[in-house]
């Protein structure tokens, strides 16, 4: 945004939102924040953010509103629910939703906000918690290009690759494509590392060597190393990618596209979810399902 830095409302301080809010504060933006679990706001408030009791209070203070919450109903609630932000946002305000939600719902939300002279940009991100902490996220933005250009300086604080990909809903649709790659690639990472370990190869050597070749990937380098260390703590929880994959399959069904690899990844993640607290584990915990199929008990 040109000229004076806008006051930014920020709703959602989870694994991704918390470091992103911190980057905005360090860049000098005034930040008015709300999150479902108030205790999570502590680091942001300590850094100068201002706590708001409701999304409506955030909206009242905001010249630009950023939301990054869990699911489609959560976005709808913070915008249009009781004490929702849409009722208090000024005309000509821009809302940037960085959550991963349904593309059709995004278009519906955009239409409703436009009736109030408010613009919605869907701007989901990829790059994981590492990208959020290091401000190296890829941000896929759908909506009016003029609005995108206005908020681009703010997005530049949060990510390294910021791309306008089309009209409303396009960002969410491209994020759906991204989640297919993440989920199906995880199958390959887990299968390759299970075979490597069963054959007696050193997993860390395998990851380092293969990571520089044609089969290398972000997942192999970043999550493969966690698998080697038996670290299944979440950067992104299984229950959240399962939510995303349901959105993917809904979009595919509307378009008549078969996604067999995605369906397989859902079933493997579901096998881990069936264990106590399995859905709270990171996506690399798919290794537990692959190892069980291989007759291994290494996953614990």
Q: Terminus-to-terminus CA distance in the chain, angstroms?
A: 50
Best CA proximity match to 241, nearest among 71, 13, 67: 71
Q: Which of 111, 117, 175, 292 is catalytic?
A: 175
Residue 167 DSSP SS3: coil
3-state secondary structure of 51: strand
CA angle 57, 152, 81 (to 5 degrees): 30
Residue 37 burial (CB count, 10 A) = 8
Place of tokens 């106590």: 276
The kind and range of the H/E element at 182 are helix 170-198
Residue 227 · residue 283 · CB < 8 Å: no
Consecutive H or E run containing 153: helix 145-158
Q: Are 11 and 57 in contact (CB under 8 A)?
A: no
Q: Is-contact 47 25, C-beta < 8 A?
A: yes
CB count within 10 Å of CB 234 equals: 18
Let me know if 175 is a catalytic residue. yes
List active site positions: 175
């Amino acid at each position: 945004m040109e000229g004076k830095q806008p006051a930014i409302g920020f709703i959602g301080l989870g694994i991704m939102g918390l470091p992103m809010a911190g980057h905005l504060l360090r860049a000098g933006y005034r930040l008015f924040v709300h999150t479902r679990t108030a205790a999570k706001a502590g680091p942001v408030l300590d850094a100068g953010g201002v706590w708001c009791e409701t999304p409506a209070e955030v909206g009242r203070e905001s010249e630009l509103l950023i939301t990054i919450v869990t699911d489609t109903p959560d976005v709808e609630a913070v915008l249009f629910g009781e004490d929702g932000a849409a009722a208090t946002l000024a005309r000509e305000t821009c809302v940037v939703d960085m959550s991963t939600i349904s593309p059709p719902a995004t278009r519906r939300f955009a239409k409703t906000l436009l009736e109030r002279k408010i613009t919605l940009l869907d701007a989901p991100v990829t790059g994981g918690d590492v990208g959020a902490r290091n401000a190296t996220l890829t941000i896929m933005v759908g909506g009016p290009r003029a609005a995108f250009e206005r908020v681009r300086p703010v997005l530049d604080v949060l990510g390294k690759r910021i791309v306008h990909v089309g009209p409303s809903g396009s960002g969410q649709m491209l994020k759906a494509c991204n989640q297919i790659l993440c989920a199906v690639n995880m199958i390959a990472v887990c299968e390759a590392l299970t075979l490597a370990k069963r054959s007696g190869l050193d997993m860390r050597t395998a990851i380092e060597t293969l990571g520089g070749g044609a089969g290398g990937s972000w997942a192999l380098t970043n999550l493969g190393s966690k698998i080697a260390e038996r670290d299944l703590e979440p950067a992104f929880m299984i229950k959240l990618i399962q939510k995303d994959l349901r959105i993917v399959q809904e979009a595919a069904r509307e378009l008549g596209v078969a996604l067999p690899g995605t369906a397989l990844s859902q079933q493997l993640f579901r096998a881990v979810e069936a264990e106590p607290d399995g859905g709270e584990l990171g996506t690399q915990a798919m290794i537990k399902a692959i190892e069980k199929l291989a007759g291994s008990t290494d996953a614990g």
